[in-house]
Chain A
Amino acid sequence: MFWVFLGCGILLAIGATCAIVRAERGPSMLDRTVALDVFTTTLVGAIALEAAWSRRTETIPILVVLSLVGFVGSVTIARFASTEPEGEKRIRTHEEVAQEDAARLAEEEAERIANPPTAGPPSTDSEHLGATPDGEVR
């Protein structure tokens, strides 16, 4: 019986590791969501395996909670998923971020000098106030 439980534990561990690998690789937010769903399910399996091994019942409420709220994360991420620009699929280094910020600031400064602000109703469109941002999933 011990070897059966050990084998199950190894299988679950490999499955969880693969899910973590996919969550790290991406490439999109939805792939990570799916991978983390697999990880949650594997976690439920591991807790159930431990409860079956030691014949204990205290951990069963954890399974109830995980099966109830495990889907909240993926639903939230899927609700706010949007088209990702090509360059933003990886985490940028500090130097790249600083460079982009400097370029953007210089551009804004040049634009401000070229057309000085005129008195008028403030534009609400630039920050998507009251409108939906581009690429949002409705």
Chain B
Amino acid sequence: MDGLDWGTVADAAAAVFLVCGAFLAFAAGVGVVRFPDLLARMHAATKPQVLGLILVLIALGLRLRSWEIVGTLFLIMVFQLLTSPVAAHMVGRAGYRTGKVRTDLLVLDELTADQDDAEQAAGSESSRPADERDARGEDVTGRPGT
């Protein structure tokens, strides 16, 4: 193993990771422009947010080769994994409720069916007297919880 320089190996691996991460960012850009509706664009946008960022940070760690920096990079990864699902959940929920989702493009739409079932169940419940439902601790308005 004498002829092998580990710095060169790490740099080569970093180059591979960097190219993969940059390609994911490129693919996300193309997908965000070309995909037809909000959910498809969100699908494309998620790729560099998680996997692309992880690849680029691994490459950066391989380039810098210091344990303190690796700790910071790990922290960046954890923050991104904590925050990007929150944003995606909020955007998807708002998109569904304001009618940005094209149902003709969906293969399976379980949320609408479940919501219709819940509304029907709430409608049949509201035929009972209100104080009876109140005693059972239910919402008197009969609305499904938001």
Contact = CB atoms under 8 A, between A and B. Distances in A.
B32 to A, nearest CB: 5
A78 B64 contact: no
Interface residues of B, number: 54
Interface string B15-26: 100110111011
Chain B interface, DSSP helix/strand/loop, else mixed: helix
A135 interface: yes
A1 B15 contact: yes
A71 B87 contact: yes
Contacts of A70: 80, 83, 87
B86 A75 contact: yes
Contacts of B60: 48, 51-52, 60
Interface residues on chain A, size class? 35 or more
B32 A35 contact: yes
Given A7-B22, A8-B18, A75-B90, A31 B38 contact: yes
Contacts of A71: 83-84, 86-87
Contacts of A15: 22, 25-30, 48
Chain A interface, DSSP helix/strand/loop, else mixed: helix
Contacts of B77: 67
B29 A14 contact: yes
16 contacts: A4-B15, A8-B19, A11-B19, A11-B22, A11-B26, A12-B22, A38-B48, A38-B49, A42-B25, A49-B22, A52-B63, A57-B64, A64-B76, A67-B80, A70-B87, A74-B91
B69 to A, nearest CB: 6
B11 A1 contact: yes
Interface string A110-138: 00000000000000000000000001011
